[in-house]
Chains A and B, each alone.
Chain A
Amino acid sequence: AQSVTQLGSHVSVSEGALVLLRCNYSSSVPPYLFWYVQYPNQGLQLLLKYTTGATLVKGINGFEAEFKKSETSFHLTKPSAHMSDAAEYFCAVSGAYGNNRLAFGKGNQVVVIP
């Protein structure tokens, strides 16, 4: 079984400051890891994903995440926050073998302060 922990439901960041969202996972098989963003009244949109290969993954809108197996982590970062980054962010994991269902964390609501 797979699970994800995201701490701190609400994250406030100043415009232009570093965005850091933490994600720790648990998986009994090699994990596939995903970050999704959800804007109000919209579906989830994929930011980036890690499956195999390079552990530093770059995604859309300037976001990136690094897979660290030793720390069972997949933290999301963006060097400089923009007002348009205000949204809810979800980390998710699925297993390399099986039905590919996604197990999501509880999410982080990001507020960008001008």
Chain B
Amino acid sequence: DTGVSQDPRHKITKRGQNVTFRCDPISEHNRLYWYRQTLGQGPEFLTYFQNEAQLEKSRLLSDRFSAERPKGSFSTLEIQRTEQGDSAMYLCASSPRDRGTDTQYFGPGTRLTVL
């Protein structure tokens, strides 16, 4: 069990560019979640997957955001035409099953800075 990993850890980009983040969950975890954390705030839910199926997206996830989890393993989060307001820490979490009692295990996050 190597934990949830995220890549890259830091990303600096210019406004209008596209960026893609990767999350590798703990092996055999069915659920995968994406959250966003801005300075001074707690994480906010963006979207989640049950295996390869994306089951819910938050209203925070505008049309510029897209997430995938092909084959139910790793996941990617892409932001198109980045804006300064997208600057945040993007956190990925995974849990073993679909029960609410299951712990969500978080990765270290990807910090995005949009100039």
CB within 8 Å of B: which residues of A?
A: 4, 6, 9, 32, 34, 36, 41-46, 49, 51-52, 90, 92, 94-107
Contact, CB under 8 Å: A106 / B40: yes
A41–B101 alpha-carbon span in the complex (Å):
27
Kindly provide the distance from the CB of A42 to the nearest chain B CB, expressed in whole angstroms. Answer: 6
The 5 closest A-B pairs by CB, nearest first: A104-B42, A43-B106, A44-B106, A51-B101, A101-B45
Are A103 and B108 also in contact (CB < 8 A) when A46-B103, A51-B101, A98-B100 are?
no
Cα–Cα, bound, A61→B43 (Å) = 23
Is the contact region of chain A dominated by helix, strand, or loop, or is it mixed? loop
Known: A32-B101, A44-B106. A99 touches B56 (CB 8 A): yes
B95 within 8 A of A: yes
Give bound CA distance, A24 to B94, whole Å.
Answer: 25
Q: Are A51 and B100 interface neighbours, CB within 8 A?
A: yes
* Distance (whole angstroms) from the CB of A100 to the closest CB of chain B: 5
A51, A92, A100 — most chain B CB neighbours (10 Å): A100
Contact residues, B33-87 vs A (CB, 8 A) = 33, 35, 40-45, 48, 55-56
Contact across chains for A32 and B107 when beta carbons are under 8 A apart: no
